[in-house]
Amino acid sequence: MKVQKNLSRRKFLRLAGSGATLAAVSAACTPAATVAPTAAKPAATSAPAVIAKPFAGKELTVFAGNHHDTNVRDLWIPLFQEKTGAKVTYTSIGGGDADAKYAVFLASQDGSQDVMYSWETFTAKFGRGLFEDLSAFKPALLSQLNPTPVKALTFLGKLYGIPFDSNMAIFMWNSELYEKAGLDPNKPPENWTQFADYSKKLTKDGNFGTLFTLGDPNSSFFTFISIYNSTGGSLLSDDQKKIFVDTPEGLQAMEAFYNGVVKDKWIDPAGLTINSSIEQGKVFRGGKIGHYFAFPNHYTLAQDATQSQIVGKGRTGIIPGLKLRSASSNGFEGYSMNRFSKNKELAMAWLEFTVSPEVQKLVAMKWGRPPALAATFNDAEVKSSSPQFAAVSEQVKYPAARYGSPFYFDVGTAFNDHMNTLLKGNGTPKQACEKIQADAQKAIDAYWAKVGG
């Protein structure tokens, strides 16, 4: 009882305050946790070394998708730091969450990240608000890059990102499952009809012939255009104001897909809940599907025994088409410069670095992605270490539009909604096309009305 009287609430408050003050003073007196090793080095370097490291003592912030970690963070950044003397702070986020983060950067005009990873829809969606116009980017260097990804990162005539790859889906199959199904393990299907026949033979023992991703707006749209592009049709008008789904080409693509999932059941319906090509690749590497439309780096992963149960069994070719021999959909990625960055000179150095021959070789040989720099694509060492690029060389001859746009999410949502309904066995392909046409066009009209209004 006496103790309680002595410890009044005021005394308690006083004690708590003193404790907090002590903690604050102690924290303030603690020396800084780390000193960047690169910051200490310049003092000891000689004059030529300073010239070789023009950004010594400066700091660059790089924002990327976490699928860049093992390459950009672990391979590119040490090289960049070594070359420039700059310290790089790398932050990554799940690719699906990047949209939200970029929206926050834009809304708050946050320049804390100097360069950010981007792709076709990001440059269209965030270009005017968040990214620097790079149209004047080193013309000599730009001309050495594959023009298709450069065009993809251009929106309304302005270049908002520098591509570091020429990534696009190719065809990959499991030679062992082909043999078991009585198929020639070295002869992939050459058109959609053959693809369907092969898939039916591969569908057995609880496994399906193939799998497409349909789990969210982005994946549904991507899957549809991968097939639609091989009809020879164009889904969006050049000015991005009209969409063409309720057309003979749209119906042909939708019917092909519907038959595979609902009618003949050789496309795994689990794809309705899968939204990432990374997950799709895992299913293939687990030996669960016979073939699929894969990004080239999936071949590299399929050869990695720590991530694959089918090492040595993966083969690559071009995607079998509906009307054209083939078509694909691209996955070009690059880096953009934050227009609110206070560090644009160093940011520009990073962009140049990403398309340097040295980094482009890393893109090809370590990441397994087709490089953006044409010369690297033809490099003998790259060709021999990355056999999947032979398929890419052939695949680039066919359409691979991705139709990135500021209204990509809404258009994707229309596809996702109505394709899901259709593939659950409700309605007909024609009805799905009509509904997508109506909803997607409405979203596009709404966007352009806002721009004009």
Partner 1 sequence: MAGLLDDRQAGHRRSVIAMTDTRPRASFWQRFNRMDEGRFGYLLIAPTALLMLVFLALPIGYSILMSLNRIELTISPDWKFIGLNNFGGLLSDNQVNAAIPRTLFFAALNVVFTTVLALVLSIVLNEPFKGRRWVRVFILLPWAVAPVVSGVMWRYMFHQSYGLINAVLRALGLIDKYVVWFDDPSVALSVAAIASAWKALPFASLILLAAMQGIPESLYRAAKMDGASILHRFWYVTFPHLRPTVIFVVVLQIIASLQAFDLIFTLTRGGPGQGTVVLNYLTFINAFERLSLGSASALALALAGLIMVLSGISLSLTVRRTPKGQA
Which residues sit at the interface with partner 1, rule CB under 8 A? 10, 13-14, 96, 99-100, 103-104, 106-107, 109, 125-126, 128-129, 206, 215-216, 269-270, 272-273, 275, 283, 288, 406, 409-410, 413, 416-421, 424, 447, 450-451
Among 135, 160, 163, 159, smallest CA distance to 149 is for 163
Select 37 or 205, whichever has its Cβ closest to partner 1. Answer: 205
CB of 238 to partner 1, least distance (A): 19
Select 106 or 346, whichever has its Cβ closest to partner 1. Answer: 106
Torsions phi, psi for 151 (to 5 deg): -65, -35
Q: Which residues contact 129 (CB under 8 A, 6 or more apart)?
A: 106
Among 47, 111, 58, smallest CA distance to 80 is for 58
CB of 73 to partner 1, least distance (A): 24
Select 102 or 173, whichever has its Cβ closest to partner 1. Answer: 102
Give the Cα separation of 351 and 372 in Å (integer): 12
CB of 250 to partner 1, least distance (A): 18
CB of 8 to partner 1, least distance (A): 9
Give the Cα separation of 55 and 59 in Å (integer): 8
For tokens 């880096």, the residue is: 335
CB of 279 to partner 1, least distance (A): 10
Give the Cα separation of 230 and 189 in Å (integer): 14
Select 15 or 49, whichever has its Cβ closest to partner 1. Answer: 15
CB of 436 to partner 1, least distance (A): 12
Select 216 or 333, whichever has its Cβ closest to partner 1. Answer: 216
Inter-residue contact 396 to 148 (CB < 8 Å): yes
Select 107 or 311, whichever has its Cβ closest to partner 1. Answer: 107
User: 12-26: buried (b, 16+ CB within 10 Å) or exposed (e) per residue?
Assistant: eeeeeeeeeeeeeee
Give the Cα separation of 409 and 8 in Å (integer): 60
CB of 34 to partner 1, least distance (A): 30
Among 432, 406, 446, 442, smallest CA distance to 224 is for 432
CB of 451 to partner 1, least distance (A): 5
Select 380 or 451, whichever has its Cβ closest to partner 1. Answer: 451
Give 300-344 as a 3 state SS string. Answer: HHHCCCCCCCCCCCEEEECCCECCCCCCCCECCEEEEEECCCCCH
Judged by DSSP in three states, 114 sits in: coil
CB of 25 to partner 1, least distance (A): 18
Select 133 or 417, whichever has its Cβ closest to partner 1. Answer: 417
Select 42 or 286, whichever has its Cβ closest to partner 1. Answer: 286
Number of H helices, E strands in the chain: 22, 10
Amino acid at site 397: K
Inter-residue contact 125 to 406 (CB < 8 Å): yes
